[in-house]
Amino acid sequence: MTGHRPFGRKPSASAVFLVLALLVGAVTLVTVGLRGGAPLTPAAQARQIAAGLRCPVCEDLSAADSPAPLAGQMRAQIRQQLAAGRSPAQIRARFVASYGDSVLLSPPARGLGRVAHLLPALVLLVGLATAVVLLRRWRTAEPVPTVATPVDVRPAPRPSRRAPATRPRRSAAARTAIAMALVVPLGTATAVLLNNAVTPRQTAPVAKAAAAPGANQGAVDAPAVTDAQLAAVSTGVAEVRRHPRSVTAHLALARAYAAVQQRQLSTVEYLAAARLSPDDAEANTGLALAAFTAGQPREALTLLDRVLVVTPRYPEALYVRGLVRLMGLKQAAAAKTDLDAYLAAAPFGSHRTAVQTLLAMIPAADR
């Protein structure tokens, strides 16, 4: 007869692991609880916030750890905002507003990210449930020495872990499947984490030092102006042939012809665009300019009035109408209104210098 033991047998390795796991959990909880009580200094708080934010130009480093200048600016902003009285949550929210959730190194506690936050609790529950099931199974297994018979006077063999009499054994295939179900995803996650940790991908700002001065300058300096304009004409002609009913194609060709001083050809293309789309502002303004340069300011004005009724702030039409009124129709006051409107509508427009010259030409009495 063997001595009394809990569950009637020597504690199995599973039970030992369970006790160890509970001990580790308890120690962790106590440690976290003690650490959580200490107040953080502003510098430590800033570092803690930065450590939870991804450095946007190096992707796999936190803003606290990255040497990139932009990460340094993030740390400076965090310090400034803390000093201004903003809470860590507000500071994080500002970065999320600009970068989205991907700036956070840990998933947000909403949407899909909630799963990651619930995972520890889920794992704990599953572990507890597993422990309960195992304990119940051991208890039911305890008094059933099924291999002993009444005539057998020898003590019943102690149930072996390797060959329990009543404990069901799974087939090798089932055990392999269960092991794979647990090991494969865990292995994948570990590999992803390790890969992210050791191979940060760097983007342009971090590669600043590697950029040779003057490298790839050809794209900037290469196309001579005349070649580019001629190329635009060739492309425009090809596009119009390919899409003869495309307003965009006719307008592009009209601009290309105008750029190489082919005014008549340009006018033909504007006319084609205006026929396809009678209210098109650019086509009608182009035709108005052609009419004005051909000595027909009234026809030009009619076209421009029509354009500006539909699109009152269209800068090109305001400029051309101002020009027509001032130079062609001698209507200085009305021209001034148009030219002033152009300056307001196109703060960086190409005609600003010309408009200021035209305005200076208007006699004070006519203003």
Partner 1 sequence: MSTPDLVQQSRRRGGLWLFVVGVVVAAAVALLATWLARDPSASRSPLVGRPAPAFRLPGLGGAPVSLAGLRGQVVVVNFWASWCTECHTEQAALNSTWDRFRDSGVVVLGVDFQDSSDDARDYLARAGISYPTVVDGRSRTALAYGLRGIPETFVIDARGRVVDRVIGPVDEARLAAHITPLLRAAT
Residues 323-352 that bind partner 1 (CB under 8 A): 345-351
Q: Give the SS3 label for residue 104.
A: strand
> Residue 134, class by beta-carbon neighbours within 10 Å (0-12 exposed, 13-18 middle, 19+ buried)?
middle
| 98 near partner 1 (CB under 8 A) | yes
Q: Rounded distance, CA 316 to CA 323, Å?
A: 11
Q: Quickly count: other Cβ atoms within 10 Å of residue 120's Cβ.
A: 9
- Of 14, 45, 62, 166, the one binding partner 1 by CB under 8 A: 166
DSSP string covering 309-359, please?
HH-TT-HHHHHHHHHIIIIIS--HHHHHHHHHHHHHH-TT-TTHHHHHHHH
> Which listed residue (33, 36, 85, 100) binds partner 1 by CB under 8 A?
100
**Which of residues 220, 224, 364, 365 is near partner 1 by CB under 8 A?**
220
Integer Cα distance of 237 and 250 in angstroms = 9
Residue at 234: amino acid letter: S
Among 23, 43, 44, 116, binds partner 1 (CB under 8 A): 116
Q: For residue 54, what are the β-bridge partners?
A: 62
Q: What is the dihedral of CA 155, 156, 162, 167, to 10 degrees?
A: -160
| Interface positions, 290-309, toward partner 1 (CB under 8 A) | none
Binding-site string for partner 1 from residue 53 to residue 82, where x marks contact by CB under 8 A and - marks none: -x-xx-x---------xx--xx-xx-----
Using the minimum distance from each CB to partner 1, give the nearer residue, 4 or 359: 359
Coil, strand or helix at 56: coil
Nearer to partner 1, 22 or 211 (CB): 211
Q: In this structure, which amino acid lies at residue 260? A: V
Interacting span for partner 1 (CB under 8 A) from 15-23, 31-39, 85-93, 112-120: 112-120
Binding partner 1 (rule: CB under 8 A), the pick from 28, 90, 203, 356 is: 203
83 binds partner 1 (CB under 8 A): no
Based on CB atoms, which residue is closest to partner 1, 1 or 112? 112
Residue of the chain from 11, 67, 244, 312 that contacts partner 1 (CB under 8 A): 312
Q: Which is nearer to partner 1, 11 or 205 (CB)?
A: 205
Q: Report in angstroms how near the CB of residue 264 gets to partner 1 at its nearest.
A: 21
Q: Contact between 204 and partner 1 (CB under 8 A)?
A: yes
> For partner 1, which is the closer residue by CB, 119 or 238?
119
Considering only residues 172 to 191 of the shown chain, the ones binding partner 1 according to CB under 8 A are 174, 178, 181-182, 184-186, 188-189
d(CA 279, CA 241): 23
Which residue from 61, 319, 328, 336 is in contact with partner 1, where contact means CB under 8 A?
Answer: 319
Cα atoms in the Cβ-side hemisphere of radius 13 Å centred on 341 = 20
- By beta-carbon proximity to partner 1, the closer residue of 32 and 97 is 97
Q: Which two tokens stand for residue 4?
A: 């009394």
Q: Which of 24, 93, 109, 126 binds partner 1 (CB under 8 A)?
A: 126
Considering only 28-36, 81-89, 313-321, 331-339, which stretch makes contact with partner 1 by CB under 8 A? 313-321
Task: Count how many residues are written for the chain.
Answer: 367
Q: What is the largest CA-CA distance in the chain?
A: 135
Residue found by looking up tokens 């409107």 in the block: 341
Q: Which amino acid is at 295?
A: G
Q: Using the rule CB under 8 A, is 133 a contact of partner 1?
A: yes
Nearer to partner 1, 91 or 326 (CB): 91
Beta strands in the chain (DSSP E): none
| Structure tokens that stand for 150 in this block | 């009444």
- CB of 206 or CB of 326, closer to partner 1: 206
Cβ closest to partner 1, residue 17 vs residue 27: 17
Question: Interface residues for partner 1 in 245-264 (CB under 8 A)?
Answer: 248, 255
For residue 239, how many other CB atoms are within 10 A of its CB? 17
